[in-house]
């Protein structure tokens, strides 16, 4: 028997029509006047913004860095939904959960609808920013380190179920820890109110998703065969590490394409100083799930660095580079 809290899932499912952003687009819509003088993205989330090589740039170039940071963040969020979370949730809904209680399937299907709406919200955010900033050029931006790590892992795997379960491990981490990063954007008073609003709308759904996946994770684990359980226990730490790995690739691409002088040096200075290594994830929910599954001591991962007593991740200014979107 699974020890999932069915009453909590039923409560979340029943509240979905009132709670979900997608269910009331009129009430829960992106809000706030566009103010060209405000940055699109928080300077505190750009690890090198205080570097003298950036500080001496003209203001329009500094603003372009933040605008492309915002566009890049949105693109990575869409990619995370499309390539990591949605395939994994689909696999759970169609292969793992049938035969279990209906409310588990209902819960995942509701979550999938939310995630599809999030991709639309973030694609709209990109279009709105391009229109308001009159951007008619494009930029090549690399996929996130999280996505690259999952793809690397999948290439080493043989069995289809291994690839599917690897995605489930990454999606579980994404779903149960994304709030910390969204909190930073949703609470930031310096950026475009419209952009803050996008993060707020996404975040309100993700608070429910982290509770949902915290319970569904138990049902899923209970459904696995012994060898699948072993695989999941080995893979979860790989996912946990991938989500807090330092990732400057997007910023490097932005600086290079904006022709910022000494871009490589600026990035290298930040990497060496350790900026960008701060946590943008709150792993307290994952630690709790592992504990409830009885696998905490089997996981090759040190949770003590990644959860705080308040349950919120450390979000020190000027130290966040990861851009681990979802
Ligand atoms: Fe989402
Ligand atoms: Fe989600």
Rounded to the nearest angstrom, the distance between the alpha carbon of 27 and the centre of ligand 1 is 19
Does residue 246 belong to any structural domain of this protein? Answer: yes
Q: Which domain holds residue 243?
A: 57-324
Residue by residue, DSSP assigns 233-280 as HHHHHHHHHHHTS---HHHHHHHHHTT-TTHHHHHHHHHHHTTBBS--
Rounded to the nearest angstrom, the distance between the alpha carbon of 142 and the centre of ligand 2 is 22
Contacts of 248 (CB under 8 A, 6+ apart): 47, 267, 270, 271, 276, 321
Does residue 63 belong to any structural domain of this protein? Answer: yes
- Quote the pTM value: 0.91
Find the radius of gyration of the CA atoms of the chain. 20
Does residue 35 belong to any structural domain of this protein? Answer: no
161, 228 contact by CB (below 8 A): yes
Report the CATH number that the domain containing residue 186 is assigned in CATH.
1.10.620.20
Does residue 217 belong to any structural domain of this protein? Answer: yes
Number of domains in the chain: 1
Does residue 20 belong to any structural domain of this protein? Answer: no
Give me the average pLDDT of each 10-residue run along the chain (326 residues): 88 96 91 91 93 95 97 95 95 92 96 97 97 96 94 96 96 91 93 96 95 94 95 96 90 96 93 66 90 93 67 37 48
Here the tokens at position 130 are: 């391009």
Q: Give tens-digit pLDDT for 283-311.
A: 999 999 999 999 999 999 988 866 554 44
Does residue 145 belong to any structural domain of this protein? Answer: yes
Rounded to the nearest angstrom, the distance between the alpha carbon of 94 and the centre of ligand 2 is 18
Does residue 8 belong to any structural domain of this protein? Answer: no
Q: Which ligand is nearest to the CA of 207?
A: 2
Rounded to the nearest angstrom, the distance between the alpha carbon of 34 and the centre of ligand 2 is 27
């Amino acid at each position: 028997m699974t020890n999932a809290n069915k009453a909590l899932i039923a409560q979340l499912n029943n509240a979905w029509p009132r709670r979900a952003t997608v269910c009331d687009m009129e009430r829960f819509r992106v809000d706030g006047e566009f103010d060209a003088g405000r940055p699109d993205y928080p300077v505190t989330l750009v690890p090198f913004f205080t570097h003298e090589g950036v500080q001496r740039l003209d203001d329009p170039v500094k603003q372009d860095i933040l605008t492309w940071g915002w566009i890049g963040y949105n693109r990575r969020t869409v990619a995370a939904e499309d390539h990591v979370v949605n395939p994994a949730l689909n696999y759970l809904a169609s292969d793992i959960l049938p035969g279990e209680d209906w409310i588990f399937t209902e819960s995942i299907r509701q979550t999938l609808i939310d995630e599809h709406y999030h991709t639309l919200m973030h694609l709209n955010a990109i279009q709105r920013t391009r229109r308001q900033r009159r951007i008619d050029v494009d930029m090549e931006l690399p996929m996130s380190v999280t996505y690259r790590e999952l793809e690397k892992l999948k290439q080493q795997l043989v069995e289809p179920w291994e690839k599917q379960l690897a995605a489930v491990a990454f999606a579980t981490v994404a779903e149960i820890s994304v709030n910390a990063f969204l909190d930073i954007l949703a609470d930031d008073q310096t950026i475009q109110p419209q952009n803050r609003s996008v993060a707020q709308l996404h975040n309100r759904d993700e608070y429910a998703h982290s509770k949902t996946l915290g319970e569904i994770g138990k049902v899923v684990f209970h459904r696995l065969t012994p060898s699948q359980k072993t695989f999941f226990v080995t893979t979860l730490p790989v996912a946990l590490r991938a989500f807090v790995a330092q990732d400057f690739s997007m910023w490097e691409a932005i600086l290079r394409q904006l022709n910022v002088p000494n871009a490589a040096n600026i990035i290298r200075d930040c990497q060496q100083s350790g900026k960008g290594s701060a946590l943008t994830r709150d792993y307290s929910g994952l630690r709790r799930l592992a504990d409830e599954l009885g696998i905490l001591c089997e996981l090759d991962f040190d949770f003590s660095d990644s959860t705080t007593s308040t349950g919120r991740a450390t979000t020190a200014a000027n130290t966040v580079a990861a851009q681990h979107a979802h």
